[in-house]
A and B are shown apart, each in its own frame.
Chain A
Amino acid sequence: MKGQFKLVYVLMLVMFAGILSACSDDAGSSNSGEEWTGKITIWDGPRWAEEGDDSGEDGEGNKYFWLEEKIKEFEESHEGVEIELVQVPWAEMPDKLGVSIAGKSWPDIAPVDISGSAVSIEHIEQGVIESVDEFFTDDEMNDFYENAREAYTFDGELYGIPNSITVHSMLLNLDLFEEAGVEPPENGEWTWNEFADAAEKLTFDRDGDGEIDVYGFSTYILPGYYEAWPFFYINGGQPLSDDLSEFTFDDPAAVEAIQQLADIKLEKEAAPVSMGGADVGGTFQAWASEEQRTVAMEPWATWAITSAQTAYPTNFMVANYPTGESGEPVTIGGVGGWTMFHQDNDAKKEVVAEFMKHISSAEEQYVMSKEYGIFPALKSAADKDPFADNPEMARAQEMSSQVVMLPRHPEWKKIDEVIQRELQLVFNGEKTAKDAMDAAKAGVQDLLE
Chain B
Amino acid sequence: MKTSTGVKKHGTLFLIKKNYSAYLFLLPKLILFITFIAIPVVWAFILSFQEYKVFGSVWAGLDNYKAVFESEAFRKALYNTAIYTVVTVPFNVVSALVIASLIHSVSRTAQNFFRAAFYLPTVASMVIIAMVWRWMYNYEFGLFNYIIGWFGADPINWLGQTDSALWAIIIMQCMIPFGVGIILYLASMGSISESLYEAATIDGASSFQKWARITIPMLKPSTLYLVLLSTIGSFQVFTQIILMTGGGPGFATETIVHLIYKTGFRDFEFGLAAAQSVILFGIILIVSIFQFKVLQHDE
Q: A94-B265, A101-B268, A430-B162 are in contact. Are A128 and B54 (CB under 8 A)?
A: yes
Give the contact stretch, choosing among A4-12, A136-144, A180-188, A393-401.
Answer: A4-12
A410 to chain B, nearest CB (A): 10
Nearest opposing residue in chain B for A8, CB measure: B24
* B208 interface hit (Cβ, 8 Å): no
Q: Is the CB of B157 within 8 A of A428?
A: yes
Contact B138 A413 (CB under 8 A): no
Query: Do residues A15 and B28 form an inter-chain contact, with CB atoms below 8 A?
Result: yes
**Candidates B160, B262, B267; contact of A274 at CB < 8 Å:** B160
Interface residue A223 (Cβ < 8 Å from any Cβ of B): yes
Total A residues in contact with B, Cβ cutoff 8 Å: 40
Contact A5 B249 (CB under 8 A): no
- Could you tell me the distance between the alpha carbons of A8 and B21 in the complex, rounded to whole angstroms? 9
Interface pair A425/B249, CB less than 8 Å apart: yes
Q: Which of A36-44, A276-284, A346-354 lines the interface with chain B?
A: A276-284
CB distance from B216 to the nearest CB of A (A): 42
Could you tell me if A5 and B267 are in contact, using CB atoms closer than 8 angstroms? no
Q: What is the 8 Å Cβ interface bit string for chain B, positions 63-93, against chain A (1 contact, 0 not)?
A: 0000000000000000000000000000000
| Chain B proximity mask over A408-420: 1 for CB below 8 Å, otherwise 0 | 0000011001000
Q: How many residues of B contact A (CB 8 A)?
A: 34
Nearest 9 CB-CB pairs, A to B?
A424-B249, A98-B265, A273-B139, A277-B160, A126-B54, A278-B246, A425-B250, A421-B250, A424-B248
B235 at the interface (CB under 8 A from A): no
B251 interface residue, CB < 8 Å from A? yes
- Chain A, 352-375, CB within 8 A of any chain B CB: none
**Closest Cβ neighbor of B246 among chain A residues:** A278
Contacts of B267 in A (CB 8 A): 413-414
Given the known interface contacts A424-B248, A425-B162, the answer about A11 and B54 at a Cβ–Cβ threshold of 8 Å is no
Type the 1/0 row for B12-42, where 1 means its CB is closer than 8 Å to any CB of A.
0000000001001101100100000000000
Partner of B161, one of A12, A120, A414, A430: A430
Closest Cβ neighbor of B25 among chain A residues:
A8
For window 127-173 of B, CB contacts with A under 8 Å fall at 134, 138-140, 155, 157, 159-162
**CB contact under 8 A between A421 and B139, given known A98-B268, A273-B157, A278-B245:** no
A12 touching B134, Cβ below 8 Å = no
Asked whether B268 lies within 8 Å of A120 as measured between CB atoms, the reply is yes
CB-CB under 8 A from B161, the residues of chain A are 428, 430
B53: nearest chain-A partner, CB-CB? A126
Given A122-B268, A128-B54, A421:B21 Cβ within 8 A = no
Question: In the assembly, what is the distance between CA of A123 and CA of B155, in Å?
Answer: 47
Contact of A127 among B54, B248, B266 (CB under 8 A): B54
With both chains docked as a complex, state the minimum distance between the C-beta of A100 and any C-beta of chain B, in angstroms: 11
Chain A: minimal CB distance from B41 (Å): 16
CB distance from B293 to the nearest CB of A (A): 38
Could you give, for residues 244-262 of chain B, a 1 whenever the CB lies within 8 Å of some chain A CB and a 0 otherwise? Answer: 0111111100000000001
Question: Are the C-beta atoms of B160 and A428 separated by less than 8 Å?
Answer: yes
Q: Once bound together, how far apart are the Cα atoms of A158 and B100, in whole Å?
A: 64
Within 8 A of B (CB), among A117-171: 120, 122-123, 126-128
Inter-chain CA distance A260–B245, complex, in Å, is 25
Cβ–Cβ < 8 Å partners of B160 in chain A: 273-274, 276-277, 428
Closest to B162 in A: A430
Q: A422 in the interface, Cβ–Cβ < 8 Å?
A: yes
* A95: Cβ under 8 A from any B Cβ: yes
| B248 adjacent to A272 (CB under 8 Å) | no
How long is the Cα–Cα vector from A425 to B248 in the complex, in angstroms? 9
A99-B265, A272-B140 as given contacts; A421 in contact with B54, CB under 8 Å: no
Is A104 engaged at the interface, CB distance under 8 Å to the other chain?
Answer: yes
**B270 part of interface (Cβ distance < 8 Å):** yes
In the complex, chain A residues whose CB is within 8 Å of the CB of B262: 417
**Complexed CA–CA distance, A259 and B164 (Å):** 23
Q: A4 — which chain B residues lie within 8 A by C-beta?
A: 21
Which residues in chain A, 74-120, are within 8 Å of chain B measured between CB atoms? Answer: 94-95, 98-99, 101-102, 104, 120
A222 within 8 A of B: yes
Q: Apart from A277-B249, A278-B248, what are 4 other A-B pairs with CB-CB below 8 Å? A: A4-B21, A98-B268, A273-B140, A282-B138
